[in-house]
Amino acid sequence: MDDLISIIVPVYNVSKYLRTCLESIRTQTYRNIEVILVDDGSLDGSQKICDEYTHIDERFICIHKKNGGLSDARNEGIKLASGKYGILVDSDDYIHRDSVRLLYQNLIQYDADLSIGNYRRVKPEEAVDLDSNPNNKVTEFTTLEALGELCELEYNYFTANHIQQFTSAWNKLYKMELLKNTPFPVGKVFEDVATAHSFINSAQKVVYTEAILYFYLIREGSISRVAIKNTDMISAFENRIAFFIEKNRTSLLKNTYSTYLTVLMRTYSHLIETPDSPIIKKEIMEKIKNIYKNHKEIFEDNSKLKNETRLFITFPSLYKNKNQL
């Protein structure tokens, strides 16, 4: 088999990093790809680099659009995609040479709908060997098992800053209908949290490899480094709770509420002081008190979370000092 795979790359003002990203895609060992570059109104020369690559490699195409944000750019690229499968790559990150080949190989071999790879956080100056031999140790998950892994990994991420391989939109190979049926929410950050559960719920089987195939660049000014001061994460978890209730995935609610509670407390603590901040903080505090009162099951085997919540409700400023990000 040699199915066409679409790689969608939203691009906005990343000229310093863009060539590294595009070269890592252009030199993939799996060759039957189309690369859709979506220039989201760049002003720093990124748009010219995108056009350059359409001349270097006929597999690359580029569209230029008015700035609409990451989700909007991804959605536009997905609309144009003609591959049977799709991969999302952020334009300041880069991928292993065997990334597409291994994700595709695992998906086909295990007859899965979603193939997930491991990733690593890297600094801009860090040297990475993209030709190394990855450890392709594969684990199979049913839909419910994969959703459980998603919830577990997210709780670990927000409480101990662990890797969250199942949440991110990138580091994955999707059957294209999964991407086309679940658009990313335009104008929101944490768009991956808002959609990850839907992608996984639509997959009959999910496979995960321990191979590090994606390199996530840690840089100042990226969305994820400032977004905890935004309430979009709260909305994403509220939507997920409603989704699990609607789909009768009630076994996942305990862990989801635990993560949601942690997100509420951290968001409260890191909100930018704006004229609306006191009102928003009051609303968040009411949500926290409601969970503490009505969802006691999440504290049954988690005394640490219970104590943190009690501390927060009584002395929120102490919680902030204790949990600086």
Q: What is the rounded radius of gyration, in angstroms, for the C-alpha atoms of the chain?
A: 20
Whether pLDDT at 88 is above 70? yes
Residue 92: its pLDDT value, please?
96
Residue 318: its pLDDT value, please?
81
Find the helix packing angle between 277-294 and 253-270, rounded to 10°. Answer: 150
The last residue of a domain, from among 223, 241, 270: 223
Same domain, 197 and 230: no
Residue 228: its pLDDT value, please?
52
Q: Average pLDDT in the 297-304 region? A: 94
Expressed as residue numbers, the domain containing 237 is 226-322
Q: Which residues contact 305 (CB under 8 A, 6 or more apart)?
A: 258, 261, 262, 298, 299
Same domain, 180 and 295: no
Identify the residue with better confidence: 155 or 90: 90
Same domain, 173 and 301: no
Average pLDDT in the chain: 92
Same domain, 183 and 305: no
**Cα separation, 161 vs 166, whole angstroms:** 14
**Cα separation, 91 vs 186, whole angstroms:** 18
Residue 325: its pLDDT value, please?
41
Whether pLDDT at 170 is above 50? yes
Q: Average pLDDT in the 54-59 region? A: 98
Same domain, 185 and 233: no
**Cα separation, 203 vs 111, whole angstroms:** 11
Same domain, 208 and 282: no
CB 236 within 8 A of CB 256: no
In total, how many domains does the chain have? Answer: 2
Same domain, 141 and 207: yes
The last residue of a domain, from among 223, 244, 260: 223
Confidence of residue 162 (pLDDT cuts 50, 70, 90): confident
Confidence of residue 317 (pLDDT cuts 50, 70, 90): confident
Same domain, 198 and 231: no
Residue 82: its pLDDT value, please?
97
CB 93 within 8 A of CB 217: yes
pTM summary value: 0.93
Whether pLDDT at 323 is above 60? no
Same domain, 29 and 71: yes
Whether pLDDT at 10 is above 60? yes
CB 102 within 8 A of CB 207: no
Residue 1: its pLDDT value, please?
63
Identify the residue with better confidence: 162 or 77: 77
CATH of the domain at 156: 3.90.550.10
Indicate the pairing of strand 60-64 with strand 114-122: unpaired
Identify the residue with better confidence: 221 or 213: 213
Residue 227: its pLDDT value, please?
45
Residue 274: its pLDDT value, please?
64
The last residue of a domain, from among 223, 241, 272: 223
Same domain, 152 and 284: no
**Other C-beta atoms within 10 Å of 199: how many?**
23
Same domain, 56 and 188: yes
Same domain, 9 and 133: yes
Residue 306: its pLDDT value, please?
95
Whether pLDDT at 148 is above 80? yes
Residue 222: its pLDDT value, please?
54
For 231-279, how does the pLDDT look when each residue is reduced to its tens digit (9 = 90+)?
899 999 999 999 999 999 999 999 999 999 999 998 898 886 666 788 8
Residue 226: its pLDDT value, please?
45
Return the beta strands (E) in the chain as ranges.
5-11, 33-39, 60-64, 85-88, 94-95, 114-122, 138-142, 172-175, 205-217
Confidence of residue 214 (pLDDT cuts 50, 70, 90): very high
For 93-130, how does the pLDDT look when each residue is reduced to its tens digit (9 = 90+)?
999 999 999 999 999 999 999 999 999 999 998 989 99
**Of 217, 72, 215, 15, whose CA–CA distance to 134 is shortest?**
215
Confidence of residue 225 (pLDDT cuts 50, 70, 90): very low
